[in-house]
Amino acid sequence: MSNDGAQPTIVVDSVSRWFAGVVAVSDVSLVVEPGVTALLGPNGAGKTTLLRAIAGLTATSQGTVRIFGEPVRGNPGLYRRIGYMTEHESVYDFLTGRQFVELNARLQGIGDLDAAVARAVETVELVDAQDRKLRTYSRGMRQRMRLAATLVHDPPLLLLDEPLSGTDPVQRLHLQQVIRRLAAEGRTIVVSSHILEEVDQLADRIHLMVSGKLAASGDYRAIRQQLNDRPFLVRIDSSNARELAAGLLLEKTVESVEIDREGHLRVRSGDVAALQRSLPAVAARLGIRLLRVEPLDDSLESVFEYLATGSAA
């Protein structure tokens, strides 16, 4: 299942892609090996464009993509070894789930069609629903049947664009298990997501994209640690902001405090978990009532921005 080990599965070399003056991907270079690799970034970061360039669906404006050592664009024979699940949920909804997977199997030129289709449908656990029209499926079921169609030809490389979108927690857990199992069999799997927690238990390596550029690469733990280490800004409403500010300044986890014009306390901390523990204790000791505690820079964009630039928003 794995490639021959002589070369990485995917080599992206200085790839840029722009549309009418708008840069979607800017000078991205990366290498993908067997296992699960996540392409992470906020919406509009260029993940889908990069995945589409890797799959050969779109041409690069600059740079090259090689899969198993071969250029992918204009090389349809390579699709025997690639399964690509697009971000769009559209399917031929007049087909049943089984017919849809079978169509993909036929177009792949698979010999033992019935066995391949049965195996793929079983993998996503949709045997009972396989004879229903796709238009009757829930969003999550459709995602799973699309995954079945993507892996029906047993490809060593899977490119999955937001595969967990639209799934409920149970379906998400199941899909994560399926993806992990497929990777354990030696496949190379690239998963895109805009949700860090989504790839938490899934990816061995993460490539972080922000504004079309590759902002960071590494394993999940390293990026998670960077995330935990970033300064965190919290707004606190209390019955006595000045006294609480003085009390918090004595805590090691607090980097700075300030009181804004409306009298809200703003606390900057490098250790969110420690602040969460110490704040109630300090307030209780000083007899101050906490009215509201709100993170000010916890948006996804803020997190990605921090990881990309190393400075808090």
Partner 1 sequence: MTAILTLTARQLAGSRRVWLVLALVALPVLAGVLFHVADSTTSSAEFADGITGTLIASGILPLVMLLFGTSAFGNELSDRTLGYLTLKPLSRWRIAAPKLVASVLVGGVPVAVSGLLAVAVIENGRVGGAAATGAGLLIGAAAYAAIFTWAGLALRHALIFGLVYVFIWEAALAAYLDGIRFLSIRQFTLALIRGLDGERLDTLDLSLGAGAGAIGAAIVIVVFTALTVRKLVRVDVP
Q: Which residues bind partner 1 (CB under 8 A)?
A: 52, 55, 57-59, 74, 76-80, 82, 84, 86, 88, 90-92, 94, 103-104, 106-109, 149
CB of 107 vs partner 1, minimal distance in Å: 4
Q: Which of 16, 83, 80, 81 is nearest to 46 (CA)?
A: 16
Q: How many CB atoms lie within 10 A of CB 127?
A: 12
Q: Is 123 exposed, middle or buried (0-12, 13-18, 19+ CB in 10 A)?
A: middle
Nearer to partner 1, 1 or 59 (CB): 59
CB of 304 vs partner 1, minimal distance in Å: 26
117 Cβ neighbours under 8 A, 6+ residues apart: 98, 101, 102, 105, 152
Please tell me the distance from the alpha carbon of residue 119 to that of residue 209, in angstroms, as a whole number.
Answer: 35
Nearer to partner 1, 56 or 247 (CB): 56
177 Cβ neighbours under 8 A, 6+ residues apart: none
Nearer to partner 1, 47 or 52 (CB): 52
Nearer to partner 1, 112 or 168 (CB): 112
CB of 72 vs partner 1, minimal distance in Å: 10
CB of 76 vs partner 1, minimal distance in Å: 5
* Axis crossing angle, helix 139-151 with helix 97-107, rounded to the nearest 10: 30
CB of 91 vs partner 1, minimal distance in Å: 7
The single residue listed with the structure tokens 């808090």 is: 312
Q: Is 260 exposed, middle or buried (0-12, 13-18, 19+ CB in 10 A)?
A: exposed
CB of 169 vs partner 1, minimal distance in Å: 27
Nearer to partner 1, 212 or 247 (CB): 212
> Does residue 89 contact residue 135 with C-beta atoms inside 8 Å?
no
Q: Is 119 exposed, middle or buried (0-12, 13-18, 19+ CB in 10 A)?
A: middle
Nearer to partner 1, 40 or 82 (CB): 82
